[in-house]
Amino acid sequence: MVSNSIKKMRTAAGYSQVALANKLSVDTQTIWRWENGTRTPRWKDIQRMCEIFGCTSDELMSSPEGGNPTEPLPHVLPEQGEKAAV
């Protein structure tokens, strides 16, 4: 899994896990899993968090200590109903 700084960005922006989950229309447990590295957010959720936190996807998905992401974002196929990136 990609090590990330979602928790760091979330707390810096003043959001609780519940508030961020509500803003993204996901379960609070989903936020917890992203922050603990047991799940990787979907691309649309990464994009939305970048808008909320005012950061890039590289910044959001990098290690909390900063720097470049430790590994590239996984290639995932669009979920049912989502369109593939062009």
- pLDDT at position 46 is 94
CA 77 to chain centre: 17
CA–CA gap between residue 67 and residue 49 (Å, rounded):
19
- pLDDT tens digits for 51-84? 999 999 988 887 655 444 444 455 555 565 555 5
Handedness of CA 24, 78, 7, 26 (dihedral sign): positive
- pLDDT at position 58 is 87
- Which amino acid, one-letter code, is at 36? N
- pLDDT at position 69 is 47
- pLDDT tens digits for 1-14? 444 689 999 999 99
Radius of gyration of the chain (CA): 12
